[in-house]
Amino acid sequence: MSARTYFIATRPWSFPVSVMPVLVTTAGLFWMGYPVSWCMSLWATVGIILFHAAANALSDYYDYRRGVDAADTYGSRTLVDGAMTDVQIKRYAYILFALAVLNGLAIAWASSWNLLWIGTVGGLTAFFYWVLKFRALGDVDIFLNFGLLPALGTAMVVVPDASGCAVYTDALWLILAYVPITNAVLHANNTRDIATDTRANIRTVPMMIGVPASQALYYIEVMLPVVWVVVCILCSKLPWGTLLILLSLPMAWGNCRMMARLSTDKDAINHLDELTAKQQLVSSLLLFAGIMGTVGFTHFFG
């Protein structure tokens, strides 16, 4: 089996939703004046990618076994198309989880053993993501693993000898600047799959609230980060340079229009999860660029 098959099985297009929280949090803390370690930030990025890849592979295994992924569904096709067997992808997921745990222990040894608390919660919720998402708790898992835990863990890892609550409080201000769009990726996926998820006898938020409410929730999730960035700027928690996120509004508007068409076209959002992931990447990169650009401008002209 080729290395490409193993790579595709981890759904690499989704990795920006785990990478950008680490980088944005590091940049935000750097702008706030904390002595951050960029090497530790990159190391933490590798760690969260490993957990994300492992969770994706294991989720695909259970989606396939439960009938969520079938010949007539969208999403991952690794098992449905026979690129890997269910035994192979399950074994692959366990190997990735083992590597993620070993890497996490190494990071904790190099930074703070308190990281084990965050790593344990993150590892367990990543491992059992498939259990949570089948019970309409996938959104909670997303908030934990791509919002709260990365923010706290990054602050613990990149700020040497961090003490007190200030650094963690400052890191938490940044969460709503990126995690709502991350959740919108899952929400778009689940809204598209209402019919097939019902057939597979699982529960998701869109199934519980219906299509009109799901559309409204998606609009809020993709637009909220822009509003939150403005709030953070006014509260001096982000620099004015982060208004660059406004450049992502055309993508957000386009995605919202696509979701709106679902009322008349059931196939309108077939690829909206991938497009939302692209929006998350672009808006997060704009946030990162706005923060670091402000730091550079201040350094040279301040």
- Rounded Cα distance, 243 and 257, in Å: 23
Q: Where in the sequence is the domain holding 270, given as residue range(s)?
A: 12-293
pLDDT of residue 74: 63
- Indicate the number of domains in the chain: 1
Whether residue 57 is contained in a domain is answered as: yes
> How far apart, in Å, are the Cα atoms of 176 and each of 66, 99, 118, 225, 229?
33, 30, 19, 6, 8
**Pair 229, 252: CB distance under 8 Å:** no
DSSP character for 261?
Answer: G
Confidence class of residue 6 from pLDDT cuts 50, 70 and 90? confident
Residue 220 has pLDDT above 80, yes or no: yes
pLDDT in tens, 238-291: 999 999 999 999 999 999 999 999 988 888 898 899 899 999 999 999 999 999
3 inside domain: no
Q: What are the tokens at 5? A: 């098959």
Q: Are 211 and 262 in contact (CB under 8 A)?
A: yes
For residue 137, tell me if it sits in a domain: yes
Q: Indicate whether 5 belongs to any domain.
A: no
Place of tokens 């340079």: 241
For the segment 86-130, what is each residue's pLDDT rounded down to a tens digit?
788 899 999 999 999 999 999 999 998 889 999 999 999 999 988
- How many residues would you count in the chain? 302
Phi-psi category of 203—alpha, beta or left, where left has phi over 0 and alpha has psi -120 to 50?
Answer: beta
pTM score, two decimals?
0.89
The answer as to whether 95 is a domain residue is: yes
Contact between 79 and 85 under an 8 Å Cβ cutoff? The reply is yes
Residue 97 has which token pair?
């989880």
pLDDT band, residue 70 (cuts 50/70/90): low
Residue 135 has φ and ψ, to the nearest 5°, of -120, 30
- Of the candidates 252, 269, 250, which has an alpha carbon nearest to the alpha carbon of residue 260? 269
Does position 67 have pLDDT exceeding 80, yes or no? no
- In sequence order, the 6+-apart residues with CB closer than 8 A to the CB of 38 are 26, 158
- Whether 299 maps to a domain, the answer reads no
> Which tokens is 27 given?
């940049």
Question: 75 and 13 in contact (C-beta within 8 Å)?
Answer: no
pLDDT tens digits, one per residue of 77-94: 677 666 778 788 899 999
Residue 276 inside a domain? The answer is yes
> Does residue 109 fall inside a structural domain?
yes
